[in-house]
Structure 1
């Protein structure tokens, strides 16, 4: 048996704290996405909107979300998940809060209350589009291959947690403080989580003050974590000419349709 001084230092567990922050971001992502479906009960009589008018307001989120997912992932590859997630969460938190005042914005004089809400919701979708791609980037940077499935599973688990928490919490806030406060509270919570993420997270383990050599070596068990590795240009043409890619796109399109219809 090795003497205590000769025993290897056990790995720190900073990567799991990073994962916890990703889970919190995932939860607030879906709180800010789903809360309007609960708040709509008070919004409609307050703003004179019908259920038919609320439909396009709900859908406008998905427009911004779909159009900017690829740019959101590209920005994460270029600038790192730490900065991109921070800016993305702050962005959509601001517009979540602005949902409460969208009917009073000067924009409402130009396009009406419905149009103003559609623009704000679309901009929330633009911000949230960067979430999932950068979750994957952060987990890949912070976890060895044998932990990535668990890491992604925990992070994506925030979708269900956020969706489950939103109705009772939003309803309670609405009943006691009004529907506008529900959006202010969600936006403020997201802003706080964004600042916490920026303060604690780094793009790579060796940049973090809380990671010891043993944990860094554990995470960097593959060449994927070598920051100096040049991966070359993305073979976009070859990708788009591969039938498997299009089958994956089609299958996920069908999955997404069902998920958004019934969520």
Structure 2
């Protein structure tokens, strides 16, 4: 049911014009770049898409555009999450998910729910979702960590098919891998830890940097999944500098700088985010020119 989530998914950025409006030409270029780069699937309206600063109308337009440009070539995952459980149910109900294969839903942020609160939140989503659900644990953004125990408890629910684990805590990843049910997917949300997670038994990555380097990143993960570890790590070490640059001044400012350097779209972000510094832009440009 969820085998398509093995490999490399990319959390698509939303390109903006200089005036802050959505750059649909840039979005087309980005989708094509990822498809041609042979990633396994696309994630729409995730954190990297700056979805929290998109209006409802813009979200629908972005979704429609990506669906049209993708034209069923790759599976699509849609991000629908937040910290108001009932509002998430309304959004799921209000969203045409017919072109999507799964929902990615982040741990509620700001409220700082208990582990039981996190479980009950996802249980309600599980009970009402028309699609398989992928959990998304990113405590650096949400302010609370969903523990391995809570993840494994949720893994027993029928619609919960996996977790995007972005704690940066590799021990927690190992705890989930050790005790997960059969077919429960463990997907890295940390680009730099994606290959080690795959080698430890994980199923792949939902990547930010992968959309800037889709050929290299997806090949690295495929090599890891096929246990060709030496070749896979060779690619990882070549990407390490840009993995650092991409997150040095925040996401998606870093990846948009990379995409600008590759002439895919410009680097405009919406406040309260700002573009990367000139110094970091120069480092990114130098890396791309030398590789």
| TM-score, structure 1 normalization | 0.24
| TM-score, structure 2 normalization | 0.22
Higher helix fraction (1 or 2)? 1
Higher strand fraction (1 or 2)? 2
Larger Rg: 1
